[in-house]
Structure 1
Amino acid sequence: MENQTPSLPSFNTTTLFISTLQKIDIGYPSTPFNICLFLFILAVLLIFVAGCTPSGRKKTNPVLLPPGPKPWPLIGNLPEMLKNRPVFRWIHKLMEEMNTEILCIRIGNVHVVAVTSPELGREFLKKQDAVFSSRPKTMASDLTSSGYLSTALTPLGEQWKKMRRVVTSEVLSTARHRWMHDKRVEEADHLVRYVFNQCAKGVSGLGLVNVRMAAQHYCGNVIRKMILGRRFFGEGMEDGGPGVEEEEHVEALFTILGYLYSFCVSDYFPFLRGFDLDGHEKVMKKAMASMKKFHDPIINARIRQGRDGEKEANDLLDVLIRLRDADGGPLLSEDEIKAQIVELMIATVDNPSNAIEWALAEMLNRPETFQQAIEELDRVVGKDRWVQESDISQLNYVKACAREAFRLHPIAPFNVPHVSVSHTTVAGYFIPKGSHVLLSRPGLGRNPKVWDEPLKFKPKRHLKDSSEVVLAEPDLRMLSFSTGRRGCVGVNLGSTMTTMLLARLLQGFTWSMPPNVESIELIESVGDLFLATPLLALARPRLAPSLYPDAQT
């Protein structure tokens, strides 16, 4: 079905809206007041538009948009968006039903274009990278970036250029990555200590481990140590696990991530911002308040200590505070520093932790993959020392397992939207200026035209030649890290954290099914792409006992 300009529907728009809004599931109940207010505003707007539309307007031939559902006048596909939650599953279902690798839905006056083809993805993010180089202005990105002061979420412009230079050259450069090496190793050791302590609590050295919690808090510990110079905001737990402060911090980070990828009514109808009709704004403000509660006192105190750099910089916060402009003044404002730190935090915790939880779940159901990974670790590293970052280049099978998890079980349905800065044509379809382009992570990674047996976990598919396995995929056959001028500048850090997390868990422990479980149910959550139930697995130390006390220091 071509997404052309539709004729007026033959049934009542308000009736459809009432029936649709009654079916909305948005996380907490919509109030009758919100619904009535929305309908009132919509009715006034429809009357206004109808009164301002010239009756004798000459019809023009519609341009050929990508295929998609027929939009309503003015509001587009908003009723369908509200009715079909989560929206990403509705979009993927539409693409499957219409047998298309590019789909266009219109919400308000915004065209949202979803893509599941690597060829089309390269057209958008490589060949026409300059056209699709901006970001949308949304409620969640506005709150997260403190009014678009950071890098990844900020629309094209001088602020984005400034912050991109800072992050690329001062925060995530190769030299800075080496400078932060010891802090990452310290957290890899701490991860081993925590899992070892869970084993010590069990019977005969066999402990039940919540893999999701261990993986997420390893990632949280790493980025907190690198940016703020600390693992815990509070005291933590005696066994090395997170305290209530760290649990709240990580929960807030994942909440922000979840709502950044959501479809919010006010993102397409900005005049509704503040009414919070779908409840997203309330959740986001609460999550950001948690961030500020933990971050701001540390940042404020560090700034009060002065930007003169008398003491040697110890972490990335010190680096950001001491940056100078051409006149010798502070390069970054206090708000810019705070916004960039939140963005670095959310960009670090999600991909590695989700991939490794899924990888271990898949490997528990396929013991032969465990065996091959262990054999590689024993061959490359041995059993007399812990795997280090310097070993990563030789751990191709371990990386293949992580890469396969990225392919089959991505962290989010789509990348952060790219916005077109001008009209253009892609694959013969007209893409209007201001369109939001979404590359589907599962659509790319599970595309049967690209991958043999796409729904099967097969790490060996990434070992077809003798070259080193890398977790990035520049040809967009999968989307582990984004590419182009809006590509992820933290590929090195993300790849290192992912590989070390998996390698330490595999080298240090033998993993098995929890009691009374014959296989892990590999089922996604309804509302996102996480494993529906956090992975619990039994762990037993597999190296010499003398190695583990070193990890506890």
Structure 2
Amino acid sequence: MRGLDRWNKGRTFLQLLLELREQDGAATSISMRQVKAMLSDILVGGTDTTSTMVEWVMAELMQHPEAMRKVNEELTEVVGLDSLVEESHFPKLHYLDAVIKETFRLHPALPFLVPRCPSQSSTVGGYYIPKGCMVWLNVWVIHRDPKIWENPLEFQPERFLNESSNLDYSGNNFNYIPFGSGRRICAGLPLAEKTLMYILASLLHSFEWKLPHGTELEFSDNFGIVTKKLNPTVAVPTPRLSNFELYTK
């Protein structure tokens, strides 16, 4: 889009979209409906899904103290209690990465992904799929299929530490596709992966998290385009860094 070369530090993304809308008749112009659709996609796809997955990961870790202990030990070893989490630490946080991937398996943010619409009729797996119909992929069921996963309902991050498992976010293994696969894989995958890791690593490294006294976790969900916890998780943080000045940075 040629309008993008007009970008500079003084413009916000919304301002750029509105400028493109004002170009009546221009090849790069877009309608107000397209502006709203794009902003809605960014909000739901980039913000709502990330905050939802942060809550699911935190809930699973508080439900499984041994996994929480391993995450804390890894963060202490890699980052240190006198430093803050940086992007350079991410490649060394193997167990936290496995925890996030296992949470995506049990609680995919979009259980049916984004619907597909085939441009031509075809037969897939013995099923006839007519042109123009809407196709939904039930990732939630795929990720819990006992024919594919051992103990599919159990939270076991270690299953993602096996180097031969070939389980990542690329979508090349159709048994695990939380972000989709192929040409229609989530366009925000690189940003989402780093953002989620940074938020969770920072929260878990800076604080110890416990449930309020007398409360218990439950994992009922609220079905929707984005599957959230039915009842929000409430946790009490306790500082764990060695220097309180780090919390002001």
TM-score computed with the length of structure 2 as normaliser: 0.84
Q: Tell me the equivalent position of 1:545.
A: 244
Q: In the aligned structure 1, how far is the partner of 2:214 from the partner of 2:105?
A: 30
Change (3 A) 1:320 1:525: closer
SS at match of 2:236: strand
Q: For 1:389 and 1:362, how far apart are their aligned partners in 2? A: 24
Deviation at 1:478, TM superposition (A): 2.5
Aligned match of 1:523 in 214, 220, 243?
220
Report the number of matched residues.
241
Task: Give the corresponding residue for 2:104.
Answer: 406
1:150-229, aligned counterparts within 5 Å? none
1:417 aligns with 2:121: no
| Residues 494/433 of structure 1: CA separation in 2 closer, same or farther (3 Å cut) | same
1:389 to 76, 87, 92: 87
CA radius of gyration, larger in: 1
> What secondary structure is seen at the aligned counterpart in 2 of 1:419?
coil
Higher helix share: 1
The reply on whether 1:452 has 2:161 as its aligned counterpart is no
1:333 aligned to 2:30?
yes
Distance 1:476 1:540 in 2: 40
Instruction: Answer whether contact 1:418 1:438 (CA < 8 A) is retained.
Output: yes
Match of residue 496 from structure 1: 194
SS in 2 for 1:436: coil
Instruction: Output the CA distance in 1 between the equivalents of 2:122 and 2:64.
Output: 47
Unaligned regions of 5+ residues in structure 1, if any? 1-161, 171-306, 324-328
- Work out the CA distance in 2 between the residues paired with 1:355 and 1:472: 18
Task: Give matches, 1:6-45, under 5 Å.
Answer: none
Q: 2:45 aligns with which of 327, 347, 371?
A: 347
Deviating more after overlay: 471-480 vs 433-442: 471-480
Code of the residue aligned with 1:357 in structure 2: it is: E
Report the Cα distance in structure 1 between the residues aligned to 2:18 and 2:223, rounded to whole angstroms. Answer: 42
Corresponding residue SS for 1:546:
helix
- Say whether the 8 Å CA contact 1:374–1:506 is kept in structure 2: yes
- Could you tell me how far apart the structure 2 residues matched to 1:320 and 1:359 are? 34
Contact 2:110 2:178 survives alignment (8 Å): no
Where does structure 2 lack aligned partners over 5 or more consecutive residues?
A: 21-25
Amino acid at match of 2:143: G
Equivalences for 1:47-446 in 2 at 5 Å? 312-313=9-10, 315-317=12-14, 320=17, 331-333=28-30, 335=32, 336-446=34-144
- Match for residue 178 of structure 2 among 477, 480, 492: 480
Compared CA separation, residues 375 and 432, structure 1 to 2 (3 A): same
- Whole-angstrom distance in 2 between the partners of 1:514 and 1:477: 37
Distance 1:319 1:398, change over 3 A: farther
Shift of residue 402 of structure 1?
A: 1.1
Opposite residue 30 of structure 2, the aligned amino acid is S
TM-aligned CA deviation for residue 421 of structure 1: 1.4
For the 8 Å contact 2:166–2:173, the answer to whether it is kept is no
Distance in 2 (CA, whole Å) between partners of 1:347 and 1:425 is: 30
| Residue aligned with 1:511, SS | strand
What's the CA shift for 1:459? 0.9
Match of 2:142, SS? helix
CA distance 1:319–1:387, shift in 2 (3 Å): farther
- Deviation of the 1:539 alpha carbon: 0.8
Q: 1:350 deviation in Å?
A: 2.7
- Say if 1:472 and 1:480, in contact at 8 Å, map to a contact too: no
In 2, distance between residues paired with 1:504 and 1:469?
25
TM-superposed CA distance for 1:397, in Å, is: 1.2
RMSD: 2.9
Q: Distance in 2 between matches of 1:347 and 1:455?
A: 26
| Structure 1 letter corresponding to 2:54 | I
Instruction: From the superposition, tell whether residues 484 and 368 of structure 1 become closer, same or farther in structure 2 (CA, over 3 Å).
Output: same
Report the 3-state secondary structure (helix = DSSP H, G, I; strand = E; otherwise coil) of the residue aligned with 1:453: coil
Instruction: Determine helix, strand or coil for the equivalent of 1:482.
Output: coil
Counterpart CA distance in 1 for 2:50 and 2:41 is: 16
Deviation at 1:318, TM superposition (A): 5.4
Asked if 1:512 is matched to 2:210, the reply is yes
Query: Is 2:78–2:92's contact at 8 Å kept on the other side of the alignment?
Result: yes
Counterpart-to-counterpart distance in 2, 1:467 and 1:377: 24
* Matched AA of 2:213: P
Distance 2:27 2:81 in 1: 49
Shift of 1:466: 8.4
SS at match of 2:182: coil
How far is 1:321 from its partner?
A: 6.2
Q: Could you tell me the percent identity over the aligned residues?
A: 34
Once the two structures are superposed, residues 244-274 of structure 1 have per-residue CA deviations (whole angstroms, 9 ceiling, x without a partner) of: xxxxxxxxxxxxxxxxxxxxxxxxxxxxxxx
